[in-house]
Amino acid sequence: MSAIVHDYVENYIRGLIKRDDQALLELEEYALANHVPIIQKEASQLLETLVRMARPARILELGTAIGYSSILMSTCAGRQTKITTVERSPEMVGIARDNIKKYGYADRIDVLEGDCLEILESLEGKYDFIFMDAGKSHYNDFFPHCSRLLNENGVIVSDNVLFRGMIASDELVEKRMTTIVKKMRKYLEMLSANEEFHTSVVPVGDGIAISTRRNRNE
């Protein structure tokens, strides 16, 4: 459990989520059996809601792992939506590409192998929806690129921003996580003070920040 909301609340919300997509169910099982971190169930439900609301034509994801969240976003965004997802682990890239092909998403999801920062620097064109779920210590470095690559009405969703509750309470901080905690706090402070974006931090899953660009004439 996440130490972010009470277990009974989390369990109750999880119990409400009925998923019948075979690909997603199989990938959830694989992730659990192989200790691959994928987005938490109730956070994935929120991600799906946000994608449905945004109706993006182009999605950029940072952190592919086995391809679970890419496939999840693709199922609800629809056939026309193109997803680019970035992963630095060659092993994960191989597994994700196999899964994407096996479940019939190869025409909609493109996996780029490499470090997010390097790939972000090389990307051009605009995205309507950006899901940040890689390298928690580097969100501050990724954000300027995400801002540059985001369409006027786009959304940036950052996962793990409350990181097992540690970001909100010094009492929960494990010593070896101090750097991540400091950097994530800086990220949330930067987002909250950013005059160009409006950000809401939601205590769902491991904590999700939803950022949208403010209107020019606000």
Q: Is 134 in the site for ligand SAM (CB under 6 A)?
A: yes
In 3D space, the residue among 92, 88, 77 whose CA is nearest the CA of residue 120 turns out to be 88
Closer CB to ligand SAM, 128 or 133, in the complex: 133
Contact assessment for residue 119 and residue 60, using Cβ atoms and an 8 Å cutoff: no
- Kindly tell me which residue out of 23, 39, 46, 168 binds ligand SAM, with binding defined by CB under 6 A: 39
Shortest reach from residue 165's CB to ligand SAM, in Å: 17
Closer CB to ligand SAM, 31 or 192, in the complex: 31
Residue 14 neighbours by CB distance under 10 Å: 13
Size of the site for ligand SAM (CB under 6 A): 18
x/- map, 50-89, ligand SAM, by CB under 6 A:
-------------x-x--xx----------------xxxx
Contact assessment for residue 47 and residue 206, using Cβ atoms and an 8 Å cutoff: no
Q: Which tokens hold the place of 45? A: 């439900």
Q: Is 38 in the site for ligand SAM (CB under 6 A)?
A: yes
DSSP SS3 for 62: strand
Contact assessment for residue 128 and residue 56, using Cβ atoms and an 8 Å cutoff: yes
Distance CA 70, CA 58 (A): 12
Pinpoint the alpha helices (H) of the chain.
Answer: 7-16, 22-33, 41-54, 68-77, 90-102, 116-122, 139-149, 178-193
- Kindly tell me which residue out of 51, 116, 130, 156 binds ligand SAM, with binding defined by CB under 6 A: 116
| Candidates 35-43, 75-83, 149-157, 161-169; binding stretch for ligand SAM (CB under 6 A) | 35-43
Shortest reach from residue 53's CB to ligand SAM, in Å: 19
Within 8 A by CB and 6+ apart from 139, the residues are: 132, 158, 161, 183, 184, 187
Query: Using CB under 6 A, which residues numbered 149 to 168 contact ligand SAM?
Result: none
Q: Is 92 in the site for ligand SAM (CB under 6 A)?
A: yes
Shortest reach from residue 72's CB to ligand SAM, in Å: 7
Binding positions for ligand SAM, rule: CB under 6 A = 37-39, 63, 65, 68-69, 86-89, 92, 115-116, 133-135, 138
